[in-house]
């Protein structure tokens, strides 16, 4: 067993899986733990995973209202390459929208987290060009040889003309667990998730804006992560993936992100550095009206990001969850069932309180910005268009098979989608 992986070992699995072809399970997301008795219910967590499962004082795999259940045979949903398991579930974002809370719920239910020794929750592979070489993607996008780029950030990143095969090898070797297969070749279903909430915004930036200061190298290269990810997986494996996107009112997301950045000395958001939230927001909104886009505001432009992701992956592979839906006890059970069914990974879905995992301490939004203020009206002038664009995009995605958490309206029904989103986020 390679060190620092997060595999699950199922003891005695081979002797109990005598007839793989006839194995059937009950509902993947029921509250019951009753699964085919031929599947072992004894799972031992890798000690390396246990050692790395604590990050920021959090035990990520601590049991919660979403429970582990007995393992079942894999029917083709595991994603493996080169003997390594690759993530089949991505919580793409958005940052400060409850992604850590969702990660803790899923990890407590047995979903394994793809991670490095430095971060027990997030892998940060695709958003780190020191790990993944984007030079040939840049060359394809620009029509120039990869050595022709002239950027100050080049000494800080990997820029070597690495082939797709070489990039895949780097990815598989980056703390990925071994495929969950026993000595006789039987595989059990084990969902592996990448909870890096930064991925959703790594798409080409809008052509109607100029990029303002303090963007990262991966943004300045203007790479399409969904396009790269599809190449890395290959068509067959890419079509197995499931994506969860959590959304929050843009102004609330920006406020939470700003106060988190302030606590870190603006290490995590250099573009939003400022004396206070209000004056910083006003400055950025003015710049946006001048068609100069900051990294901070870009994070809340959800529609434009989803447009690029659905250009490379089917809407059927997406599950959209407003932050507020996860806070409601009865509704989170339905969310649990939806994710279990979409991933084909059995979870025991039960009611129970869900405390926020990383609850930032900052003023209430209404205390920071009054809705009658000039600043609030300025924000609405800029973001009402973006929100309308998001509702249209979600309506189209839902009509084409995307899941909307606890949405009960009809297909392509924009009015119902609008009401659902504005009520839940």
Taking only the tens place, the pLDDT of each residue in 273-293 is 999 999 999 999 999 999 999
CB 253 within 8 A of CB 300: yes
> What DSSP assignment string belongs to 89-149?
EEEEE-TTSSHHHHHHHHHHTTPEEP-BTTBSS----TT-TTTS--HHHHHHHHTS-GGG-
**pLDDT computed for residue 7 by the predictor:** 31
Confidence of residue 183 (pLDDT cuts 50, 70, 90): confident
What are the strands, taking DSSP E only, across 134-278? 192-194, 210-211, 242-247
Cα separation, 222 vs 203, in Å, equals 6
For residue 361, how many other CB atoms are within 10 A of its CB? Answer: 7
**pLDDT computed for residue 22 by the predictor:** 32
Confidence of residue 45 (pLDDT cuts 50, 70, 90): very low
Structure tokens, 141:
């996008």
DSSP 161: -
Structure tokens, 172:
């598989």
- Partners of 247 in the β-ladder: 322
Task: Say yes or no to pLDDT of 14 above 80.
Answer: no
CB 310 within 8 A of CB 318: yes
Interacting residues of 236 by C-beta distance below 8 A, sequence separation 6+? none
CA distances from 82 to 23, 173, 237 (A): 27, 9, 13
Task: Say yes or no to pLDDT of 208 above 60.
Answer: yes
Instruction: Please give the residue that has the higher pLDDT: either 186 or 172.
Output: 172
**pLDDT computed for residue 312 by the predictor:** 98
Q: Return the SS3 of 193.
A: strand
Task: Say yes or no to pLDDT of 204 above 80.
Answer: yes
Structure tokens, 109:
């239910």
- In the chain, % of residues over pLDDT 70: 86
CB 290 within 8 A of CB 397: no
Cα separation, 24 vs 188, in Å, equals 13
- For 142-156, 225-239, 306-320, 364-378, which range has the lowest pLDDT when averaged over its residues? 142-156
CA distances from 400 to 93, 366, 403, 410 (A): 21, 36, 9, 12
Cα separation, 159 vs 162, in Å, equals 8
Hunting for tokens 């004396």 — which residue is that?
275
316 preceded by cis ω (within 30°)? no
Task: Say yes or no to pLDDT of 26 above 50.
Answer: no
**pLDDT computed for residue 48 by the predictor:** 34
Cα separation, 380 vs 387, in Å, equals 9
Task: Say yes or no to pLDDT of 33 above 50.
Answer: no
- For 11-25, 91-105, 395-409, which range has the lowest pLDDT when averaged over its residues? 11-25
Pairing status of strand 79-81 against strand 84-86? antiparallel
Pairing status of strand 242-247 against strand 318-322? parallel
CA distances from 173 to 34, 273, 366 (A): 36, 36, 47
Task: Say yes or no to pLDDT of 20 above 70.
Answer: no
Distance of CA 312 to the CA centre of its chain: 16
Instruction: Please give the residue that has the higher pLDDT: either 181 or 334.
Output: 334
- Residues 301-315: what's their mean pLDDT? 98
- Residues 104-122: what's their mean pLDDT? 94
The predicted model scores a pTM of 0.86
Confidence of residue 56 (pLDDT cuts 50, 70, 90): low
CB 282 within 8 A of CB 378: yes
Task: Say yes or no to pLDDT of 23 above 90.
Answer: no
Interacting residues of 265 by C-beta distance below 8 A, sequence separation 6+? none
- Residues 308-314: what's their mean pLDDT? 98
Which pLDDT tens digit goes with each residue over 237-271?
999 999 999 999 999 999 999 999 999 999 888 89
For residue 237, how many other CB atoms are within 10 A of its CB? Answer: 15
**Summary mean pLDDT of the chain:** 86
- For 8-17, 168-177, 226-235, which range has the lowest pLDDT when averaged over its residues? 8-17
- Residues 76-85: what's their mean pLDDT? 95
406: left (phi over 0), alpha (psi -120 to 50) or beta: left
**pLDDT computed for residue 73 by the predictor:** 92
Phi and psi torsions of 84, nearest 5°? -110, 145
- Residues 37-57: what's their mean pLDDT? 37
Cα separation, 404 vs 316, in Å, equals 11
CA distances from 377 to 38, 299, 343, 381 (A): 62, 20, 42, 6
Which pLDDT tens digit goes with each residue over 401-412?
999 999 999 999
Taken in order of first residue, the domains within the chain and their CATH numbers are 8-424 (3.40.50.300)
Task: Say yes or no to pLDDT of 375 above 90.
Answer: yes
């Amino acid at each position: 067993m390679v060190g620092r992986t997060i595999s699950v070992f199922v003891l005695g699995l081979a002797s109990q899986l005598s007839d793989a072809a006839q194995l059937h399970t009950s509902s993947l997301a029921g509250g019951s733990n009753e699964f085919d008795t031929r599947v072992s219910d004894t799972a031992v967590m890798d000690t390396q995973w246990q050692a790395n499962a604590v990050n920021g004082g959090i035990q990520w795999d601590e049991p919660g209202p979403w429970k582990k259940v007995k393992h079942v045979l894999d029917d083709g949903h595991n994603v493996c390459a080169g003997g390594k398991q690759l993530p089949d579930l991505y919580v793409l974002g958005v940052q400060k929208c409850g992604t850590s809370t969702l990660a803790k719920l899923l990890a407590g239910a047995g979903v394994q987290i793809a991670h490095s020794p430095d971060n027990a929750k997030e892998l940060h592979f695709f958003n780190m060009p020191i790990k993944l070489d984007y030079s040939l993607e840049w060359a394809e996008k620009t029509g120039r040889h990869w050595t022709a780029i002239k950027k100050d950030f080049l000494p800080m990143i990997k820029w070597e003309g690495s082939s797709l095969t070489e990039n895949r090898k780097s990815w598989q070797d980056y703390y990925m667990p071994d495929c969950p297969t026993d000595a006789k070749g039987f595989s059990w279903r084990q969902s592996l998730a990448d909870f890096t909430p930064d991925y959703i915004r790594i798409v080409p930036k809008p052509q109607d804006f100029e990029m303002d200061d303090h963007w990262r190298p991966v943004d300045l290269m203007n790479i399409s992560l969904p396009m790269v990810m599809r190449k890395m997986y290959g068509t067959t494996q890419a079509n197995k993936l499931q994506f969860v996107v959590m959304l929050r009112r843009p102004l609330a997301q920006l406020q939470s992100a700003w106060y988190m950045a302030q606590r870190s000395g603006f290490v995590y958001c250099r573009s939003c550095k400022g004396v206070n939230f209000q004056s910083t927001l006003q400055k950025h909104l003015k710049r946006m009206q001048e068609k100069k886009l900051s990294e901070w505001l870009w994070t809340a432009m959800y529609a434009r990001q989803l447009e690029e992701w659905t250009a490379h992956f089917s809407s059927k592979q997406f599950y959209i969850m407003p932050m507020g839906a996860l806070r409601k006890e009865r509704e989170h059970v339905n969310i649990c069932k939806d994710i279990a069914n979409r991933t084909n990974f059995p979870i025991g879905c039960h009611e129970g309180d869900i405390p926020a995992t990383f609850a930032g301490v900052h003023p209430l939004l209404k205390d920071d910005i009054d809705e009658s203020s000039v600043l609030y009206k300025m924000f609405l002038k800029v973001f009402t268009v973006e929100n309308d664009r998001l509702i249209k995009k979600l309506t189209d995605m839902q009509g084409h098979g995307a899941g909307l958490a606890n949405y009960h309206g009809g297909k392509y029904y924009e009015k119902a989608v609008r009401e659902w989103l504005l009520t839940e986020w």
